[in-house]
Amino acid sequence: MSTQSLNSGSVVQRLARTRELMSQNGIHALLVPSADPHLSEYLPAYWQGRQWLSGFHGSVGTLIVTPTFAGLWADSRYWEQAGKELKGSTIELVKLLPGQPGPLEWLAEQVPEGATVSVDGAVLALGSARTLESKLKERGAVLRTDIDLLSQVWGDRPALPVQPVYEHLPPQATVSRVEKLAKLRETLQQRKADAHFIATLDDIAWLFNLRGSDVSFNPVFVSFALIEPDQATLFLDLGKVTAELRGILEREGVALRNYAEINSALASLPASTRLLVDPARVTCGLLGHLKPEVKLVEGLNPTTLAKSQKSLDDAFHIRQAMEQDGAALCEFFAWLEVALGCEVVTELTIDEQLTAARARRPDFVSLSFNTIAAFNANGAMPHYHATEQEHAVIEGDGLLLIDSGGQYLGGTTDITRMVPVGTPTLEQKHDCTRVLKGVIALSRAQFPKGILSPLLDSIARAPIWAESVDYGHGTGHGVGYFLNVHEGPQVIAYQAAAAPHTAMQPGMITSIEPGTYRPGRWGVRIENLVLNREAGTSEFGAFLKFETLTLCPIDTRCLEPSLLTHEELEWFDAYHLQVRERLSPLLEGAALEWLLARTAPLSIAA
For domain 166-306, the CATH class is alpha beta
Could you say which architecture CATH assigns to the domain 309-605? Alpha-Beta Complex (3.90)
Q: What pLDDT digit, counting tens, does each position of 356-392 carry? A: 999 999 999 999 999 999 999 999 988 888 888 889 9
Kindly indicate the confidence band of residue 136, based on its pLDDT and cuts at 50, 70 and 90. Answer: very high
Domain coordinates of the chain in residue numbers? 8-153, 166-306, 309-605
Kindly indicate the confidence band of residue 603, based on its pLDDT and cuts at 50, 70 and 90. Answer: confident
Amino acid letter, residue 362:
P
C-alpha count within 13 angstroms, C-beta hemisphere, residue 330: 32
Weakest-pLDDT range from 146-150, 335-339, 455-459: 146-150
pLDDT tops 90 at residue 84 = no
Give every CB contact of residue 219 below 8 A, 6+ residues apart in sequence.
Answer: 205, 211, 212, 213, 365, 366, 407, 482, 483
Q: What pLDDT digit, counting tens, does each position of 417-432 carry? A: 999 999 999 999 999 9
Distance in angstroms (rounded) separating the CA atoms of residues 432 and 76? 20
What pLDDT is recorded for position 604? 58
Same fold across 8-153 and 309-605: no
What pLDDT is recorded for position 139? 86
Amino acid letter, residue 260:
A
Kindly indicate the confidence band of residue 262, based on its pLDDT and cuts at 50, 70 and 90. Answer: very high
Domain 8-153 bears CATH identifier 3.40.350.10: yes
Distance in angstroms (rounded) separating the CA atoms of residues 532 and 534? 7
* 3-state per-residue secondary structure call for 291-330: CCCCEEEECCCHHHHHHHCCCHHHHHHHHHHHHHHHHHHH
pLDDT tops 70 at residue 3 = no
Number of C-beta neighbours around residue 420 at 10 A: 19
